[in-house]
Amino acid sequence: MSAGAPIARGSNLDFFLARAAQARAEGEATTLIHVRERCERSAAAWQALADKAKRSERLRLEEAQRKAEAGLVS
């Protein structure tokens, strides 16, 4: 990948959210307590990754806006 190639940032977020939803659904569908707990931990981890991705994207956009307002080029 070249330095100027666009990165599909939204796809990572979508993937993280989909995995969190899948883990929650699997946890709700199971009757085994240890499997439910594992799915809950998995869902929490995927959600944390999604939250971090959202924050990173927000900060990236804010920084790009700040640079644009200051007349800087990234």
Residues 42-65: tens digit of each pLDDT: 999 999 999 999 999 999 999 999
- The CA distance from 66 to 60, in Å, is 10
Residue carrying structure tokens 């800087």 = 72
Q: Is residue 2 predicted with pLDDT exceeding 80? A: no
Question: So what's the pLDDT on residue 74?
Answer: 54
Instruction: Extract the tokens encoding 47.
Output: 């959600």
Asked, for residue 54, whether it belongs to a domain, the answer is yes
Looking at the domain assignment, is residue 51 inside a domain?
A: yes
Please indicate, yes or no, if residue 25 is contained in any of the structural domains: yes
Residue 14 lies in a domain: yes
Counting the structural domains of the chain, the total is 1
- Helix/strand/coil percentages in the chain, nearest 5: 80, 0, 20
Q: Phi then psi for 4, rounded to 5 degrees? A: -90, 0
pLDDT at 3 over 70: no
pTM of the model: 0.75
Contact 64, 16 (CB under 8 A): no
Residue numbers of the domain that contains 18: 9-70
Q: Establish if 2 belongs to a structural domain.
A: no
Q: Is 46 contained in some domain? A: yes
pLDDT at 35 over 50: yes
Share of the chain above pLDDT 70, in %: 84
